[in-house]
């Protein structure tokens, strides 16, 4: 990683350390709670694609305050599936501290997405929700996800994707993302810069088609792509070949 990329990555981690105490509240207010349905849908579809009643390990990368891990557990219980171990990986100590308080029975590692401290072919499902946009070495992370997953294991991604084909609804979405969201998040967190970063990072991000190519290059086969709520959020599920 170049020095500039390394510094940017450190700045992002520091930013999440700073907003960790108010992160959950800001998320719920800004999304009006609709992100909960996106997360549940991701879990349910992944379980359907995986097709096993006993799952040894689910790893959530960029786990933040642990929300997605909680939904993996809740949706597994609802589907009468057994998950032996839930593991969270995140470089932000502040975010993981919040996660540990919310979900003390899960396992955690303070680590980058490109350096997951697990053995090869160790996980059944690996998720990253609204976190891959913050990984500077995205292609290297996808190779690392492939390494950690068992053969036929699934990678599950929820993310705000760049969209080059903008209709009137997407323009309205952009107004919300750029003109309203930063000030709502900034007011809650007392960190305007952190929530200005969010829409800016989407504009500079990859398209759905671009990410599909990156996943395929890393050894994955695309199974499912779906966008929600005026294409604000996109779900991608791919299988390790």
* pLDDT tens digits along 198-237: 777 777 789 999 999 999 999 999 999 998 876 778 999 9
Burial class (CB in 10 A: 0-12, 13-18, 19+), 65: buried
pLDDT(28) > 80: no
**Dihedral angle at the C-alpha atoms of 135, 137, 143, 147, nearest 10 degrees?**
-60
CATH number of the domain at 132, please: 3.40.50.150
pTM: 0.90
pLDDT on residue 226:
94
Pairing status of strand 82-90 against strand 233-240: unpaired
From CA 70, how far away is CA 106, in angstroms rounded?
9
Residues 139-164 have a mean pLDDT of 93
65 is in an annotated binding site: yes
From CA 97, how far away is CA 215, in angstroms rounded?
31
pLDDT(33) > 80: no
With CA atoms as reference, report the closest residue to 49 among 153, 146, 158, 150. 153
Query: Which residues are registered as beta bridge partners of 129?
Result: 158
pLDDT on residue 169:
66
Domain around 184: 3-240
Query: How many Cα atoms are found within 13 Å in the side-chain-facing hemisphere of 153?
Result: 22
Question: How many domains, in total, are found in the chain?
Answer: 1
Choice between 35 and 148, residue whose per-residue pLDDT is larger:
148
pLDDT on residue 128:
98
48 is in an annotated binding site: no
pLDDT on residue 170:
66
Q: Which of 119-128, 159-168, 189-198, 215-224 has the lowest mean pLDDT?
A: 159-168
Those residues with Cβ within 8 angstroms of residue 62's Cβ, 6 or more apart along the chain or in another chain: 89, 90, 113, 128, 129, 130, 131, 132, 134, 135
pLDDT tens digits, 66-114:
999 999 999 999 999 999 999 999 999 999 999 999 999 999 999 999 9
């Amino acid at each position: 990683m170049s020095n500039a990329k390394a510094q940017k990555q450190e700045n992002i981690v520091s930013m999440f350390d700073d907003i960790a105490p108010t992160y959950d509240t800001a998320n719920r207010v800004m999304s009006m709670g609709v992100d909960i349905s996106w997360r549940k849908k991701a879990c349910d579809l992944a379980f359907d694609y995986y097709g096993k009643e006993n799952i040894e390990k689910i790893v959530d990368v960029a786990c933040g305050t642990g929300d997605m891990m909680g939904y993996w557990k809740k949706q597994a219980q609802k589907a009468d599936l057994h998950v032996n171990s839930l593991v969270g990986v995140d470089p932000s100590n502040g975010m993981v501290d919040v996660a540990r308080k919310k979900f003390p029975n899960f396992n955690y590692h303070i680590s980058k997405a490109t350096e997951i401290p697990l053995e090869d072919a160790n996980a059944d499902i690996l998720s990253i929700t609204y976190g891959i946009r913050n990984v500077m070495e995205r292609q290297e992370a996808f190779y690392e996800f492939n390494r950690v997953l068992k053969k036929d294991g699934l990678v599950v991604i929820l993310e705000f994707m760049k969209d080059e084909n903008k209709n009137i609804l997407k323009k309205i979405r952009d107004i919300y993302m750029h003109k309203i969201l930063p000030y709502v998040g900034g007011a809650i967190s007392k960190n305007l810069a952190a929530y200005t970063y969010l829409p800016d990072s989407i504009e500079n991000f990859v398209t759905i088609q671009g990410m599909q190519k990156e996943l395929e290059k890393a050894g994955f086969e695309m199974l499912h792509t779906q966008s929600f709520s005026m294409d604000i959020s996109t779900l991608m599920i791919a299988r390790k070949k």
